[in-house]
Structure 1
Amino acid sequence: MRKWIRILFLGGYQFAYTKIARPLIFRNNPQQAHEKTLQLLRGLDERKWTYPLLKMTHGAAFQVRPIEVGGVRLAHPMILAAGFVKGQGFGNEDEALSAVDQTIIPGWRSMPLLVGAVEFGSFTRWPRMGNTGTAIWRDVPTQSTQNRIGLKNPGAQAAAEFLARRKKALPLVFGINIAVSPGVTDAEQEKCEVVESIAFFLARGIRPAWLTLNLSCPNTEDDPGAHQTASRARDLCHAVVELVQDIPLWVKIGPDLADQQYQALLRIFEETKVRAVIATNTLGQPTPDNLNITAGVGGGKLHSKAVEVVKLLMAEKQRQGYQLDIIGCGGVMDGQTYADFTRHGIKAMQYWSALVYRGPLVAAIIQHEKDTYGIGNSD
């Protein structure tokens, strides 16, 4: 009986989102739609009476499918990727810290209640206002997104303080994503800023289920691709693992490295006791408005490249006998694209663009499609 209730609920949801909600949302340009969504999440976070409704909606949509990946036990194999619940930008740290009693990280409460596991962030050592001008685009025919938001966030210290003041209401399972600060070229300063960022959370008693080190972000004017070199990755990962001890470290990498770089990075991650690699971040490509400006492409246009990287990483993992896990990320839009990852042995995935095209319950829909059509099983 419960199975049929879930099927009917998801069917009604899909009709409502596809035929009603999405057309209304898409009347706005992508930037306006994103800003209005954040306003909605802020409102949900601030109204406690909505919490039971969100939790009930989650229970009706999702079937518990516990898995363990990267040292973390998840109720479902789908995780909302970093970049959605990350907070507003500020000009400086004092300004950010003075605002922590306000809802400066919209979605911190409502999104986990509704969708399950969420990776908060990315957070950088210092607050960032992000890039000016148009920063988000949609490509509807390919179900892709593109953004150059530029790591807009309140900074690690303010984010840690904000979450600490709401510690009792935090979800049991969530991740925190820390990004290397754009524009920092000195390796020692990079390491210092990453360690300081994480230390803020630990000092305030915030111990996420996992921590992700974001080594690639093409959504800034200064893509820190150099952080994906083996030597810098080794130093950063070693320093973080020493600091966090029993909190699993995951690392997010880009989709545009040479095969030899992926192999070298995977060896470094295994040696430094990284528990999981998220493959991949968005792909830097020229924006529709200006060919001289790069922004990160996600969704459909990223999918084949992300699957290609995952295939390479999984083959190298098996060849070398590495213990770390690989988490798929890039264009997981439906049961079939989910299967493109699982057939290479992937157990868990992250998503973002699917939220835009199929709504907040997309992870439950994808799992239902996988079960209904018998796709998505590992070879």
Structure 2
Amino acid sequence: MLFTTVLRRLDPEAAHRLAFRLIRAAPHVPGLRGALRAACAPADPRLSVRAFGLDLPGPLGLAAGFDKDAVGMAGLGLLGFGHVEIGTVTGSPQPGNPAPRLFRLPADRALVNRMGFNNEGSAAVAARLARRGGAGRPVLGVNIGKTKAVPESEAVADYVLTTGRLAPHADYLVVNVSSPNTPGLRDLQATGRLRPLLTAVRAAADRAVPERRVPLLVKIAPDLADEDVDAVAGLALELGLDGIIATNTTIARTGLRTPAGPVAALGAGGLSGAPLRARALEVLRRLYARVGDRVVLVGVGGIETAQDAWERILAGATLIQGYTGFIYAGPGWARSVHRGLAQRLAASPHATLADAVGADVKGSHP
């Protein structure tokens, strides 16, 4: 109701700031913390998931991009997300691209953004995480990217700097090489460039946190050709990566209900939401067919409903994430998805979500 009556009338970025302020305030309102947790937390124990050596109450998490600077984790956790991925965080602070840079396509249940990794920088985010510790927050993923001003020849050093600062505070770490809004970033997805980057980040995380292994994931674009998806899958196995997030936003603009003229007028940026669903699912199925259970897959892109989430699990996702679905559906979204998943699991032949992971792909690849 808040979205339809108030937030949709605001500039999208202003609406985000207003909604996020309310979410951040929620844990400080007497009685509201307990009420939200009771209402929104995944209630069915069969939804519990173990991934990266961590126990999560449910598979649905909030994708990177909503909480860029780790300022609202407690409030987001109260809304029923089993994990929250902050960022993307860069080595140095940066303002991002000029506004306007976030646009709604309501007819398509989609967003276009060219935010450009606006964030306070890894030093500020690390200091905030150190002050707050882990109490009262969900499982925390930290998504890291390249500072725009850093030349591509120094990209590895920039990622290593951010890793050293943030790995001690992360339950898992994500190398983002797939946003379309930082020039040259997607070039790092080529395995010849991705291999040394991931190797360096792995080593930096191990130096920063010698007492435990911080799980390392890579987030890829839906616009990769199938052979490049296969190459990333092979690289993940070669390097012993802990996970792959499939997928980021797309630069494609095909199949939209919104007329081409208004879409073109918005300019460049990554498209998220329902139009991404089919390709993101296809990439996920392709990855699972190649890595199976050896690499944790996180499905994201066009997930709006419990049925969408269930399809990702059957296609190989151990965890799922959303962003645009949350924007359109509002604060009850995670609760609705988890409840619908519990219903689908109960009606299926699978005893647990873990049993359901990849069932459709296994069935088609005897």
- What TM-score comes out, normalization by structure 1 length? 0.81
Give the Å deviation of 1:58. 2.5
- Structure 1 distance, partners of 2:243, 2:227, is 19
Give the Å deviation of 1:60. 2.1
1:239 to 191, 200, 205: 200
Secondary structure of the residue that 1:284 maps to in structure 2? coil
**Residue 112 in structure 1 maps to residue 77 in structure 2:** yes
- Structure 1 distance, partners of 2:266, 2:49, is 43
- Which residue of structure 1 aligns with residue 230 of structure 2? 263
Query: Where do 5+ consecutive residues of structure 1 fail to align?
Result: 1-16, 88-104
**Residue 133 in structure 1 maps to residue 112 in structure 2:** no
**Residue 332 in structure 1 maps to residue 306 in structure 2:** no
**Residue 180 in structure 1 maps to residue 146 in structure 2:** yes
Give the Å deviation of 1:111. 1.3
- Which residue of structure 2 aligns with residue 9 of structure 1? none
- Structure 2 distance, partners of 1:311, 1:348, is 14
Give the Å deviation of 1:185. 4.0
Alignment of 1:24-43 (within 5 A): 24-43=6-25
- Structure 1 distance, partners of 2:329, 2:123, is 34
Give the Å deviation of 1:242. 1.8
The residue identity in structure 2 corresponding to 1:296 is G
Secondary structure of the residue that 1:118 maps to in structure 2? strand
Give the Å deviation of 1:346. 1.9
Query: Where do 5+ consecutive residues of structure 2 fail to align?
Result: 207-212, 254-260, 361-366
Secondary structure of the residue that 1:193 maps to in structure 2? helix
Give the Å deviation of 1:167. 1.9
| Structure 1 stretch displaced more, 224-233 or 170-179 | 170-179
The residue identity in structure 1 corresponding to 2:142 is I
Q: Deviations over 1:259-314 (max 9, x none)?
A: 11111111112221210100000112479465583111111011111011111111
Give the Å deviation of 1:84. 0.5
Q: Deviations over 1:189-240 (max 9, x none)?
A: 11111111111135xxx432111111111134x2511110102211111112
Cα distance change, pair 219–360 in 1 and its aligned pair in 2 (3 A): farther
**Residue 311 in structure 1 maps to residue 285 in structure 2:** yes
Q: Check conservation: 1:148, 1:219, Cα contact below 8 A.
A: yes
The residue identity in structure 2 corresponding to 1:273 is G
Cα distance change, pair 262–349 in 1 and its aligned pair in 2 (3 A): same
2:111 to 145, 149, 157: 145
Q: Check conservation: 2:68, 2:89, Cα contact below 8 A.
A: yes
Give the Å deviation of 1:370. 2.9
**Residue 294 in structure 1 maps to residue 300 in structure 2:** no
Cα RMSD (Å):
2.4
The residue identity in structure 2 corresponding to 1:58 is R
Cα distance change, pair 58–149 in 1 and its aligned pair in 2 (3 A): same
Give the Å deviation of 1:164. 1.2
- What TM-score comes out, normalization by structure 2 length? 0.83
2:131 to 165, 168, 176: 165
Cα distance change, pair 42–370 in 1 and its aligned pair in 2 (3 A): closer
Identity %: 29
Q: Check conservation: 1:217, 1:223, Cα contact below 8 A.
A: no
Give the Å deviation of 1:342. 2.0
- Structure 1 distance, partners of 2:201, 2:53, is 16
Cα distance change, pair 186–133 in 1 and its aligned pair in 2 (3 A): closer
| Structure 1 stretch displaced more, 281-290 or 177-186 | 281-290
**Residue 213 in structure 1 maps to residue 175 in structure 2:** yes
The residue identity in structure 1 corresponding to 2:129 is L
Secondary structure of the residue that 2:120 maps to in structure 1? coil
